[in-house]
């Protein structure tokens, strides 16, 4: 996904500062796209340079001036062109899965923490998904669109189902490791 297009999507709803956009990212799309503050500010500069957003400087007396970004018509056209383009196929990269692939080199006791961490991660993700409906309701009220909220909820639904599947998988591996169901090498332990 293009960070430029995600920012344009949010700016299409409302003018925001870079700080505001970071907070929105953390509360809305973090479960499938993360961005740090410096990436957001750098990308906002690129968006403005491309003519997709205009900057309004809001003077403040006791703090530094704020830069409020407003999407332009060119930005709306770019967002629409991106949304109607073919979906890019992203090849997955997962360091944890590479670790799982080679975990046969470890004993069951050594491999167990890897899968216990996977259980904890999935449980944490599910806990975050429990708070997401309130966030979606808040943004729906701000934006005023049931249609937008419907599509936001689709991302939440897939995230929840993915986390539930990951949790069941990791719990199953933990159970297998602790019951010695996993095959060992001839000497009775992994190499």
Q: Are residues 99 and 170 in the same domain?
A: yes
Quick one: pLDDT at residue 2?
85
Q: Are residues 76 and 48 in the same domain?
A: yes
Residue with the larger pLDDT of the pair 88 and 78: 78
Instruction: Place 12 in a pLDDT band, splitting at 50, 70 and 90.
Output: very high
Q: Are residues 11 and 77 in the same domain?
A: yes
Domain boundary among 53, 83, 113: 83
Q: Are residues 46 and 102 in the same domain?
A: no
Q: How far from the centroid of its chain's Cα atoms is residue 54's Cα?
A: 26
Domain boundary among 83, 112, 137: 83
Q: How far from the centroid of its chain's Cα atoms is residue 37's Cα?
A: 14
The alpha-helical segments, DSSP class H, found in the chain are: 3-13, 18-28, 37-49, 73-83, 95-101, 108-143, 146-178
Domain membership flag for residue 88: no
pLDDT tens for 25-53 read 888 887 788 888 999 999 999 999 999 99
Q: Are residues 71 and 123 in the same domain?
A: no
Q: Is the pLDDT of residue 141 over 60?
A: yes
Domain boundary among 83, 117, 138: 83
Instruction: Provide the residue range defining the domain that includes 145.
Output: 95-178
Q: How many domains is the chain partitioned into structurally? A: 2
pLDDT tens for 129-139 read 888 887 788 87
Could you give the dihedral angle defined by the CA atoms of residues 155, 161, 162 and 165, in that order, rounded to the nearest 10 degrees? 180
Q: Is the pLDDT of residue 161 over 90?
A: yes
Q: Are residues 105 and 67 in the same domain?
A: no
**CA dist., res. 136 & res. 151, Å (int):** 10
Q: Are residues 102 and 62 in the same domain?
A: no
Domain membership flag for residue 90: no
């Amino acid at each position: 996904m293009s960070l430029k297009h995600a920012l344009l999507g949010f700016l299409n709803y409302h003018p925001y500062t870079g700080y505001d956009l970071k907070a929105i990212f953390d509360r809305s799309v973090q479960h499938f796209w993360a961005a740090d503050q410096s990436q957001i500010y750098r990308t906002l500069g690129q968006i403005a340079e491309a003519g997709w957003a205009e900057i309004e400087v809001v003077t403040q007396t006791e703090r530094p001036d704020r830069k409020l970004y407003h999407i332009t018509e060119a930005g709306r056209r770019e967002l629409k062109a991106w949304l109607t383009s073919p979906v890019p196929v992203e090849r997955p990269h997962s360091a944890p899965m590479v670790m799982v692939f080679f975990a046969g080199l470890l004993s069951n006791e050594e491999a167990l923490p890897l899968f216990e961490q996977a259980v904890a991660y999935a449980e944490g993700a599910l806990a975050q998904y429990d708070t997401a409906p309130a966030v979606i309701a808040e943004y729906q009220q701000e934006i005023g669109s049931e249609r937008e909220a419907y599509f936001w909820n689709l991302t939440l639904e897939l995230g929840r189902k993915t986390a539930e599947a990951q949790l069941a998988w990791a719990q199953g591996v933990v159970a297998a490791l602790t019951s010695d169901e996993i095959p060992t090498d001839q000497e009775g332990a992994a190499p």
